[in-house]
Structures are given as C-alpha cells and as structure tokens.
C-alpha cells in the first residue's frame, strides 16, 4: 500500500481551485502519472465519473482506472475511489486560508503487480513523493492561466 499526503497553500480562492480540479480533463494536466483523463458521466452526488490512463515508474504499472466520486461537496471536497488494477482513493479538500486556498491532498492505493511488496513500497514511495510535488507545481502553474 502506498500513501501520499500533503497540504499546500494556493494563491487562489477555493471556488477557483475547486472549479479547476472538478474538470475531469485537468487531472492529466496536473499529474505526470496520468496521460489522459476524461468524463464518462455524472454520479448521483453531482461529481464527475472519470476514466484515466496511468503509468507509474516508467512502466512499473500502467493501465486504465475509473474514479468514482464517493464524496462531492461543491467548492469544498472531492474524494474519488477506484478499484481496478490500482485500488484506493484520492481525497482533495479545499479550505479558505489567508485570502487563498489550503489544498489538502491525500491518497492511498494498492498496486496489483507481480513483484515483492517491500520493493514496490520503496520504489513507489519515492515515485509518489515526486508525483505529489509535480502535482502541486503543475496545479500552481495551470491556475495562473485558468479562468473559472
């Protein structure tokens, strides 16, 4: 199991950050692990159901996942769950903070790949920390050009 978490300040209001992250195609724009993301429908709670193609660790794991919005609170929180080759969740919380947004990111997932868990844990842990930093850098850059 791999766990990622971080808290980052963004110099944009929560509504803008939420609006950007709530567009399914933007997931692939901020995450280097996703090559494509698109909407495949709406859930009953109003959130988007997202299909995404992923690659981790230069081909260590790759495939397609469907993210279902387990929690969807307009301008506040989106929590996706997925249960494919990779299973787990990703949780985004958008909190007003000093004129901007405190973006709380948490993810936990299990990779179903045929190599020892200890090796997977070490390799994927390093990859996921780099990925988390990349997500935040890309999100900051993309928000500068984004118009809600």
pLDDT in tens, 41-57: 999 999 999 999 988 76
- Sequence-ordered alpha helix ranges (H) in the chain: 14-21, 27-30, 117-145
The pTM for the full model equals 0.87
Q: pLDDT for 84-124, tens place per residue?
A: 878 999 999 999 999 999 999 999 888 766 666 666 566 56
Q: Is the dihedral of CA 97, 101, 43, 81 positive or negative?
A: negative
Question: Given this model, what pLDDT does residue 46 score?
Answer: 95
**Chain centroid offset of residue 16 CA:** 17
């Amino acid at each position: 199991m791999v766990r990622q978490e971080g808290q980052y300040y963004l110099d944009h209001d929560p509504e803008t950050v939420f609006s950007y992250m709530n567009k399914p195609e933007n997931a692939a724009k901020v995450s280097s692990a996703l090559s494509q993301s698109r909407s495949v429908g709406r859930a009953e709670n109003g959130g988007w159901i997202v299909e995404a193609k992923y690659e981790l660790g230069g081909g260590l794991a790759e495939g397609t996942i469907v993210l279902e919005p387990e929690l969807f609170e307009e301008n506040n929180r989106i929590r996706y769950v997925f249960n494919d080759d990779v299973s787990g969740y990703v949780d985004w919380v958008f909190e007003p903070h000093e004129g901007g947004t405190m973006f709380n990111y948490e993810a936990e997932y299990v990779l179903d790949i045929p190599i020892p868990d200890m090796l997977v844990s070490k390799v994927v842990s390093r990859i996921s920390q780099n990925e988390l930093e990349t997500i935040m850098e890309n999100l900051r850059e993309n928000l500068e050009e984004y118009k809600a």
